[in-house]
């Protein structure tokens, strides 16, 4: 899920409900706790090149 705004929140909830491994990509580290509380298994800050590389690999 790219972005954790209103639609991003819903996408995480739907994905988790359907049994998907949900990863949230956001520009803001402050969204990490919300993403995890919603059920995301992983979180990536898009401004961090090392984190982005880990998702690509």
- 20-53: per-residue pLDDT in tens? 999 999 999 999 999 999 999 999 999 888 888 8
pLDDT above 90 (res 7)? yes
Domain boundaries along the sequence of the chain: 6-56
pTM: 0.87
| Beta carbons of 23 and 42 less than 8 angstroms apart | yes
52 is written with which tokens?
A: 């982005």
Residue closest to 32 by CA, chosen among 47, 42, 19: 42
Q: Stretch 9-13: mean pLDDT, rounded?
A: 98
Contacts of 52 (CB under 8 A, 6+ apart): 44, 46
The tokens of 51 are what?
């984190």
């Amino acid at each position: 899920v790219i972005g954790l705004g209103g639609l991003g929140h819903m996408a995480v909830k739907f994905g988790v409900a359907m049994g998907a491994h949900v990863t949230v990509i956001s520009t803001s580290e402050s969204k990490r706790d919300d993403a995890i509380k919603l059920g995301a298994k992983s979180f990536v800050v898009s401004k961090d090149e090392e984190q982005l590389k880990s998702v690509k690999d």
